[in-house]
Chains A and B, each alone.
Chain A
Amino acid sequence: MNTDDINLAYKLRHALNENLDALPASTTERLAAARALALSRKKADAPAGQRKGGRFFDLGFHLSGAGLGRLGVAIPLLALVFGLGGLYQYEQQQRIAELAELDAAVLADELPLTAYLDHGFNAYLESQQRQQ
């Protein structure tokens, strides 16, 4: 904008300001009432101690709405991971126990070594266990 434009803009501003003084009393009173109403609803300043506490909780314990939302997803996910881990551990223990039982039988000479290579041996052991 050149100087003429800026001059015109400020002359218009002056003209508009002149018009402000001509506002009816009812309008200015209504505006004053609106201002008083707005001030009565002003957002209260948080006390200093409360703000400090808020910062402390921000370090890790503050649960805002968004934080709760994230926790709502994280907790079931963690439970799923721990559950799958536990299941895997249990299956491993079972497998080790079965192998140990087999080893013990071999060491006690109750079985020939070739039994290890026999694919039907596991089925045989199971049927033995069922009979016992």
Chain B
Amino acid sequence: MATDKELNDFLANVERRAFKQAVYAVRKDESALDIVQDAMIKLAEKYGDKPAAELPMLFQRILQTTILDYFRREKVRNTWVSLFSGLGRRGGEDEEFDILEAYEAEEGSAAAESTMDQAERAQTLRLIEAEIQKLPTRQREAFLMRYWQDMDVAETAAAMGCSEGSVKTHCSRATHTLADALRAKGIKL
């Protein structure tokens, strides 16, 4: 059974990565913060009495579910908004692309303020994040859980609700996609 300290240490350890995971999925910092907070509360309220070893898998599962719930709510909200305002869904998609374009534009301003090396490094990191964001959802989740959250194949499969074979396939495809994308942009790690 996880003590308060174990739960606190676990959440402190994963909260930043969880936030980034949520940002990669929903692309909005504020929404990502809400999602992480909801996931933390659900974990503490419902599974606070579980052993500490089970927390990573449970938290990832809750996080994925909370992100899915967010998309469901957004879909419903978009439906109503488009019904009453006459703005179609296509308009919403255009807005998302605008955000991405603005995101890339920030790279230039950050680079202008830093030294050349720091700017290049920062730009590389942002490009990596952007490429990770572009991955298909399942591939991205499998990749991040396996290689960023330090979960093994079985834990990742349990958190994603799929077979271990599927996790390996998702991870392999994600890695190849990222390798190709980074190579195409001339990025060498």
Contact = CB atoms under 8 A, between A and B. Distances in A.
Interface in A3-48: 5, 8-13, 15-20, 22-23, 27-28, 30-32, 34-35, 37-39, 41-46
B28 interface: no
B117 to A, nearest CB: 14
Given A8-B178, A15-B124, A43-B47, A35 B11 contact: yes
A32 B1 CA distance: 23
A78 interface: no
A66 interface: no
A1 interface: yes
Nearest to B50: A43
Contacts of A45: 1, 49
Interface residues of B, number: 42
Contacts of A39: 4, 7-8, 11, 44
Given A35-B15, A38-B44, A18 B175 contact: no
Contact of B46 (A5, A20, A31, A43): A43
B179 A35 contact: no
A33 to B, nearest CB: 8
Interface of A is mostly: helix
Interface string A89-108: 00000000000000000000
A17 to B, nearest CB: 8
A21 to B, nearest CB: 9
Contact of A34 (B1, B36, B125): B36
B40 A34 contact: yes
A5 B189 CA distance: 12
A5 B179 contact: yes
Contacts of B158: none
Contacts of A5: 172, 175-176, 179
Rank and list the top 10 A-B pairs by shortest CB-CB distance, nearest first: A43-B48, A34-B37, A38-B40, A42-B48, A11-B189, A38-B44, A42-B44, A9-B147, A31-B15, A5-B175
Interface of A: 1, 5, 8-13, 15-20, 22-23, 27-28, 30-32, 34-35, 37-39, 41-46
